[in-house]
Amino acid sequence: MRIALVQFNIDHKNKQTNWARAEAYMAQAAQQDVDLIVFPEFFLGGPGRKSTLVNPTHQLCILAKRYGMDLVPGTVIEQDDDGRYYNNAYYIDASGKILLKYTKVHLWQHERKYLEPGAFTFGTVKNRFGIVVGLCACWDIANPAVFREMALNGNANLVIVPAYWTMTEVDGGYDSASEHNLVSHLCASRAFENGICVAFCDAAEGASSPYGRLTGASRVAVPFKGVVTQAPDDTEHLLITSLDIPLETSTAESLFQFKADWHAGRVFPGSKL
């Protein structure tokens, strides 16, 4: 399966520019026989309610069908029927059909001012390649139980993580690269501890970002090997990689028996509060 991660430089003032540039990346990826293309969190307008979109999935489904590839369009901020705002991710297949919707659960601190968390639901779906896929977003990756739910209960082979991860959360008293290191280790850890492939797609904005410099740490991690490919730090980049996901994950399962032991009740399920 050929996967493209678009480490996208978001225009915070012009949504139409983002739409046009996203489609250009899809056209470029189609020429390189990409099966699945992934964009970062908030990629059509950046964080904040100003980025709220009305029925964005209609156009996104058209684009997926037009270019004949599966699409994870980062996340989009949408207002629900309850009047509240949510951060939603979608898996859209090459026929333009939405296979999976996920609403971000673990909101970063400033996001809690304008977004509501989703329910504790982490679904999975089998795509046209027979790969079971799960979705989460950004800070979700710091919660191991999210990945355990998708990998062990949802049988996921691949988890896709759109993100908008800044480098400015840690003050000068700490290693300036700590956020980048955190992302790298989290991606590898989630792949190793669950026997799955992890595709993490961040944005890249440089010094021009109103939210500070981003890690731009887009990467793919797999069992046994950890991170196998990554984009340049905080630089717009189209990262394309080919993965034999059934081989990578079945080999890990044959050795470590993650799923077999889980379903046999031989794994501690965690404390229940």
- Residues 59-108 have pLDDT tens digits of 999 999 999 999 999 999 999 988 999 999 999 999 999 999 999 999 99
What is residue 55's predicted lDDT score, i.e. its pLDDT? 85
Give the span between the Cα atoms of 152 and 62, in whole angstroms. Answer: 33
Q: What is the pTM of this model?
A: 0.95
Q: Is 240 left (phi over 0), alpha (psi -120 to 50) or beta?
A: beta
Residue 212's pLDDT band (cuts 50, 70, 90): confident
Residue 80, both tokens: 């629900």
Eight-state DSSP code of residue 83: S
**CB-CB contact of 3 with 240 (8 Å):** yes
State the DSSP string of 208-249. Answer: G-TT--B----EEEETTTEEEEEPPTTS-EEEEEE--HHHHH
- The two most distant CA atoms of the chain are separated, in Å, by 52
pLDDT digits (tens, 9 = 90+) for 147-201: 999 999 999 999 999 999 988 655 556 676 788 899 999 999 999 999 999 999 9
Residue 137, both tokens: 């977003």
Give the span between the Cα atoms of 76 and 50, in whole angstroms. Answer: 11
What domains are defined for the chain? 2-263 (3.60.110.10)
Angle at Cα 149 formed by Cα 144 and Cα 150, nearest 5°?
A: 105
